Amino acid sequence: MADEKIAVGGQAVIEGVMMRSPERVSVAVRRPDGKIALKNEPYTSFSKRNKMWGLPIIRGGIALIESMVLGIRALTFSGDIAVQTEIKHEQDDSAEWKKKLWLGMTVAFSLIVGMGIFFYLPLILTEWLGAESGLWFNIVDGIIRLTIFLLYLSLILLMKDIRRVFQYHGAEHKSIFAFEDKKPLDIEHARAYRPYHPRCGTSFLLMVMIVSILVFMFLGKPDTIGERLLRLAFVPVIGGISYELIKLSDKKQNNLLVRMFIAPGLWLQRITAWEPDESMLEVAIVALKGSLGEDYSNDPRVVIES
């Protein structure tokens, strides 16, 4: 997430942080015994593997899908570490297969429920409210979707584990800010920054909801099942447009209009990115340095995971 030279982004996970650079993905998780488990793998984005996938708008849709896949993998790894579950090598063939099957079923179920709550339910409620014109239908539909999203964030705040994830989210942002400003990557320098970043996933989700209202206006009011399903086909396009807007706003942060444009996303991060403690900053910095290629094999604080 730095500049055009080295772009690094991240995601908070259970008791840890995932960081991604142009060449590596690194996940650092605080183990119950206090040490840091680190999983570090080489990775090249699909948008870098094919020129067509790197085109504007298309690269945003690719980035959205990649972020989901890598995020789910990182969350699975962090969950295993958090509960101290280990699969022995002699059990790999059966236990790993069952684990992947269960993960696939969980992801599929979550996507179906998510689509139902954040996509289909707003359509039903908008019809129930009697919005007829395409313009008003999509404005009301978007407002309801945004309201459901804010209610969801407010409800999950009641969970202690989620509040800790939000603290790690703040640690991720602080360490990236230090990296962007070319400061030494240590707790002392990272601690000085705010926990709100303009290219945060929370800001991206808010942008997706706003862009979806504008895009869906061109589709009018969906009266049939086919027209409703057609909207799903536009989700990658919406993600691509939102990605380009977030990317552009990050480059023009000194512009007054741009600062006003990104302000709602930064406000929303007051819900999702909290002030971390020093142990959380330590984990985020290990993940960040790992994604940049630092070798932790001789560091007594860190346990390298395969």
Name the residue among 163, 170, 160 with its Cα closest to residue 284. 170
Q: Where are the domains of the chain?
A: 9-83+111-305
d(CA 207, CA 195): 19
pLDDT digits (tens, 9 = 90+) for 117-127: 777 788 888 88
Residue 85's pLDDT band (cuts 50, 70, 90): very low
- Let me know: does 276 contact 174? Beta carbons within 8 Å: yes
Stretch 264-272: mean pLDDT: 86
d(CA 1, CA 127): 41
Check residue 90 and give its pLDDT.
Answer: 42
Stretch 233-242: mean pLDDT: 85
Structure tokens belonging to residue 28: 């650092």
Check residue 71 and give its pLDDT.
Answer: 85
Check residue 53 and give its pLDDT.
Answer: 78
Stretch 256-285: mean pLDDT: 88
Helix (H, G, I), strand (E, B) or coil at 303: strand
Residue 170's pLDDT band (cuts 50, 70, 90): very high
Most confident by average pLDDT, 50-59, 214-223, 237-246, 292-301: 292-301
Q: CA-CA-CA-CA torsion for 121, 122, 123, 128, nearest 10 degrees?
A: 90
d(CA 198, CA 77): 27
Quick one: how far is CA 271 from the chain centroid? 15
Residue 67's pLDDT band (cuts 50, 70, 90): confident
The residue assigned the tokens 């999702």 is 272
The residue assigned the tokens 């996507």 is 111
Check residue 101 and give its pLDDT.
Answer: 54
